[in-house]
């Protein structure tokens, strides 16, 4: 889509091999991007289906305050759904403890 294409063009302008001095500050800076992509199932006219990206979201800095509660949520899920979560952890190759 045009929006994502523009984001990639900006990225190439700053970090690409031809960026020169204009992108030096960006290449030298430390950075961390936390992104979430949202998808929807699209019904094709042929009767098939495909996934379509509908959003690309960044995580706001205010989210940091919620990060401390993630482990609490995980403990709650483990207690609430022990069979399902243990099966998922085994399938994912997670270790116990």
Asked if 52 contacts 39 with a C-beta cutoff of 8 angstroms, the reply is yes
How much is the pLDDT for 38? 86
Instruction: Tell me the mean pLDDT per 10 residues along the chain, length 97.
Output: 86 78 71 80 90 83 71 86 83 68
**Whole-structure pTM value:** 0.35
Q: In the prediction, which pLDDT does 68 show?
A: 73
- Give backbone dihedrals phi and psi of 44, rounded to 5 degrees, phi first: -80, 155
**Which pLDDT score, from 0 to 100, does residue 97 have?**
53
């Amino acid at each position: 889509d045009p929006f994502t294409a523009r984001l990639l063009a900006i990225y190439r302008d700053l970090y690409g091999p031809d960026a020169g001095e204009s992108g030096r500050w960006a290449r030298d800076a430390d950075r961390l991007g936390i992104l979430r992509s949202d998808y929807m199932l699209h019904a094709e006219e042929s009767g098939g289906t495909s996934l379509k990206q509908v959003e690309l979201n960044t995580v706001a800095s205010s989210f940091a305050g919620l990060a401390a509660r993630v482990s609490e949520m995980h403990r709650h899920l483990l207690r609430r759904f022990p069979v399902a979560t243990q099966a998922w952890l085994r399938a994912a190759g997670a270790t116990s403890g």
